[in-house]
Amino acid sequence: MRKKIVAGNRKMNTTLEEGIQLAGSIEQMLSHSKFSNVVVIIAPPFTHLTGVSKILKTGYVELGAQNCGYESKGAYTGEVSAPMLKSAGVKYVIIGHSERRTYFRETDEELNMKAKLVLDNGMKPIFCCGESLAERNQGNHFDVVKRQIDEGIFNLSKEEFRNIVIAYEPVWAIGTGVNATPEQAQEMHIYIRGLIAERHNNVIAQTTSILYGGSCKPSNAQELFRKPDVDGGLIGGASLNAMDFIGIINAAAMIES
C-alpha cells in the first residue's frame, strides 16, 4: 500500500559541480534498474536546485529541498521561500531536521508554519522528529516525538495530512554511525502511526509514509526497511556517495511494499 521512499539529505556538502555530478551518477545508475516500487528523492543545497533539476530528466529521481522560510515572501534576508522552491521544480521539503531545531533554534510553531506553506504550494513536507540521547535515556522518547508531531503537524486537515511524509530520526543516531535497531525504529514508527490514527483515522495512518533516519547505510538498510512500519529512509552521510545511496535504494527495492 505504501511505496518505499529513499531521500538523500546532502546537508551543506559539495560544490555545485560536485553536486550536479553526484545527482547525474545516481540518475544514470537508476536508469539501468528502473525501480517502480521506490520513490527516490535528492535534497541538495539551495544553490544546486536549478542545476540538479535540469539534469533529472528521466523521472526516476524527485527533487527535494532541505528547508524553507516560514513566510512566503518579504524582508527576510537570506531566506528561501516555499514558492521559490516550487518554481525551481522542488517536490519535497525537509522540515524540522534536528540540525535546524538545534543549531538554528527552529520552534515547533515555526515548523508548523513552514509545513503549511510547503503544502499550500503543492509540495510535500518531510517532517522530521526524534529524541536526543538524554531524552531516550530518561524514557521520554515517546513524549518528545508526540509533542513534536502534535505541535508541528497535527493542526493540519485530513486533506493536508495526506501529503505529509514523516521522518523519525533519533538525534543520537544522526551522523554517529550508531543506528537505531530495527526494533527501536519499528516501535517508534508504530507509535507514530497510532497517533495519526487517533488524530485522523486509520486509513490516513496506514497511508502515511514514515521514514527512518540515522546512520542508515547499505549494510543495515534492508533489516531496517523490512520492519512493517518503516517505509524507507532519510539518508545523510551515505547520500554523498552514489554507490552507497544506490545500495540503500536497492535494499528498499528488494522489499515488497
Active site residues: 97, 169
Taking the least distance from each CB to ligand PEP, the nearer of 118 and 205 is 118
Cell of 119: 503544502
Taking the least distance from each CB to ligand PEP, the nearer of 24 and 218 is 218
In 3-state terms, what secondary structure has residue 88? coil
Taking the least distance from each CB to ligand PEP, the nearer of 205 and 220 is 220
Strands 38-43 and 124-129: unpaired
Distances (CA, A) of 154 to 74, 188, 241, 247: 27, 17, 35, 34
Asked if 115 and 156 count as a contact pair (C-beta separation under 8 A), the reply is: yes
Binding residues for ligand PEP, rule: CB under 6 A, are 9, 97, 169, 174-175, 213-216, 234-238
Q: How far apart are CA 183 and CA 38, in angstroms?
A: 22
Q: Which residues are registered as beta bridge partners of 234?
A: 7, 213
Taking the least distance from each CB to ligand PEP, the nearer of 23 and 235 is 235
Cell of 157: 486537515
Q: How far apart are CA 136 and CA 140, in angstroms?
A: 6
Find the angle CA(210)-CA(60)-CA(157) to the nearest 5 degrees.
35
Closest approach, Cβ 8 to ligand PEP, in A, equals 9
Closest approach, Cβ 226 to ligand PEP, in A, equals 18
Closest approach, Cβ 157 to ligand PEP, in A, equals 27
Taking the least distance from each CB to ligand PEP, the nearer of 83 and 218 is 218
Closest approach, Cβ 238 to ligand PEP, in A, equals 6
Q: How far apart are CA 152 and CA 107, in angstroms?
A: 9
**Residue nearest ligand PEP by beta-carbon distance:** 236
Closest approach, Cβ 240 to ligand PEP, in A, equals 9
Closest listed residue to residue 81, CA positions, set 30, 110, 29, 118 = 118
Segment (H or E) for 50: helix 49-55
* DSSP code at position 179: P
